[in-house]
Amino acid sequence: MLKILPKIRRPVRCLSAVVAARNEGFAKVMQSDLLAFENFLGKDGVQKDDISNHITDWTGQFKGHGSVVLYPKSTEEVSAILAYCSRNKIAVVPQGGNTGLVGGSIPVHDEVVLSMNKINKQFSFDDTMGILQCDAGFILEELDNKLAKLGYMMPFDLGAKGSCQIGGNVATCAGGIRLIRYGSLHAHLLGLTVVLPDEQGSVLHLGSSIRKDNTSLHTPHLFLGSEGQLGVITSVTMTAVPKPRSVQSAMLGVESFKKCCEVLKLAKSSLSEVISSFEFLDADIMECLKSNLDLHPVLSKSTPFSILVETSGSNEDHDMEKMSAFLDECLSKNLILDGVLAGSSADAANMWKLRESAPLAVTRDGYVYKHDVSLPLENYYELTNVMKARCGDLAKRVVTYGHLGDGNTHLNITAGKRCEELEELMYPFLYEWVVAHGGSISAEHGIGQLKLPYSNLGKESEERLLTKKLKNIFDPNGILNPYKMI
């Protein structure tokens, strides 16, 4: 049944052209402020030149106008900066690895960038309980490498692992390619240290470092997906998971989307406790990978859809037996046209290279419109077909990849360059369509600047009001990451 839609907050013609006007209540950064920052952080903690990497996002589509990047080395230094900025009404953008895909981590006007790059020293791990406590500026891959030596791994993984930080992952509630197995970050977060943007720069130690604690509201979880709007996360306590001793990966070629869903159903029942990824690529993204990055499919036949399925377990014979039985059943039930089981970690890496290079491949077309949405499976690929028909020749490509096992599609529509005519065809139609079909306009990347005009779609006004009240409690002067999500 189709839902009745709430009104869009304001009419929008060109998505990325929507920039909120500067709030003149915020002060501009003066020489005296720079001196105060140097006083808190030392001269090497304040960068005024060569900051383009910090004011441009990964896609290159969002460029801010900030003029200074600050590098605190501790929670206390973050506290001193936020107290100063709050008292002086200076707006601040927290920034982790700057890999976010919605323009949330860069300044819009002249906000100060608060980089977490130097808060990356403290790391401790309980290898019996599997509990990790670390500074927020650690890069995800570094954490994974440290945990691997102790027989563990992070419960989530994403293509940006070499740059994104654990603090940024918490702030975006990152999803990624293991969610089908280990659940979202809500299943793993235990505690946080956060600094509030109030006039004291209050430091809060929220949650705990033990597995079970029902003594209060689960306050750290308010910061999951808070997109740097409530406070600056400086330390994270969470569970890690045992590193699997056996990983089996297979790429399957499928004739129809309906059959992809049948393969998913079968994978869930027959691979059950060992399934760890179920990723999706259509023929158009495969073509894009080939023409833009010279990456070739691992399947010998070209098929309309490809699925990358992976199991992770502790006993290779057992897992291989399950995977082989699953593949046999897919073939005998005529669900797949082709399939390859990785015979080595190099084979598996080739399969993952295809999936993980998709975000880069689409950028090579010139301009890319990204859509990260959740949909019921019956509408998952219908969206792609609807948009193909709607965009016609104005789009260079309409490609889809994503986390099919979680109902999360990444529909990317490319053009040689920005095209207002195409934008008018796509928006707000696309997001209204998603909500009308019971989906979410942001599955895992958040709202940031990109989706701000649509952020009320699918959310009750009471929920939005409650969110605003919470924002006012945490950030009474509204200095943290303005012009975005809330």
What does the binding site for ligand 2HG look like in residue numbers (CB under 6 A)?
159, 358-359, 370, 372, 410, 412
- Strands 397-403 and 367-374 turn out to be unpaired
Q: How many CB atoms lie within 10 A of CB 63?
A: 13
- Nearest distance from C-beta of residue 103 to ligand 2HG, angstroms: 14
Q: 404: number of CA atoms within 13 Å, CB side?
A: 30
Q: Which stretch binds ligand FAD (CB under 6 A): 1-9, 123-131, 228-236, 470-478?
A: 228-236
Buried b (16+ CB within 10 A) or exposed e, 161-200: beebbbbbbbbbbbbbbbbbbbebbeebbbbbbbbbbbee
Q: Report the C-alpha gap between 412 and 384 in whole angstroms.
A: 9
- Nearest distance from C-beta of residue 106 to ligand FAD, angstroms: 8
Buried b (16+ CB within 10 A) or exposed e, 85-106: bbebebbbbbbbbbbbbbbbbb
Q: Which of 445, 453, 458, 482 binds ligand FAD (CB under 6 A)?
A: 445
Q: Report whether 97 contacts 113 (CB < 8 A).
A: no
Q: What pairs with residue 367 in β-bridges?
A: 415
Site for ligand FAD in 47-76 (CB under 6 A): 58
- Nearest distance from C-beta of residue 260 to ligand 2HG, angstroms: 17
Q: Which of 85, 233, 307, 426 binds ligand FAD (CB under 6 A)?
A: 233
Q: Report the C-alpha gap between 187 and 83 in whole angstroms.
A: 32
- 93 sits near ligand FAD (criterion: CB under 6 A): yes
- What residue 410 binds from ligand FAD, ligand 2HG, none (CB within 5 to 8 A, per partner kind)? ligand 2HG
- What residue 412 binds from ligand 2HG, ligand FAD, none (CB within 5 to 8 A, per partner kind)? ligand 2HG
Site for ligand FAD in 246-305 (CB under 6 A): none
- Nearest distance from C-beta of residue 357 to ligand FAD, angstroms: 8
Looking at this protein, which amino acid is placed at residue 75?
A: T
Contacts of 31 (CB under 8 A, 6+ apart): none
- What residue 99 binds from ligand FAD, ligand 2HG, none (CB within 5 to 8 A, per partner kind)? ligand FAD
At residue 92, what are phi and psi to the nearest 5 degrees?
A: -135, 140
Q: What is the CA radius of gyration of the chain?
A: 23
Site for ligand FAD in 166-205 (CB under 6 A): 167-169, 171-172, 174-176
- What residue 284 binds from ligand 2HG, ligand FAD, none (CB within 5 to 8 A, per partner kind)? none
Site for ligand FAD in 106-125 (CB under 6 A): 116
Q: Which residues bind ligand FAD (CB under 6 A)?
A: 58, 93-101, 104-105, 116, 136, 158-160, 164-165, 167-169, 171-172, 174-176, 227-228, 232-233, 359, 444-445, 481
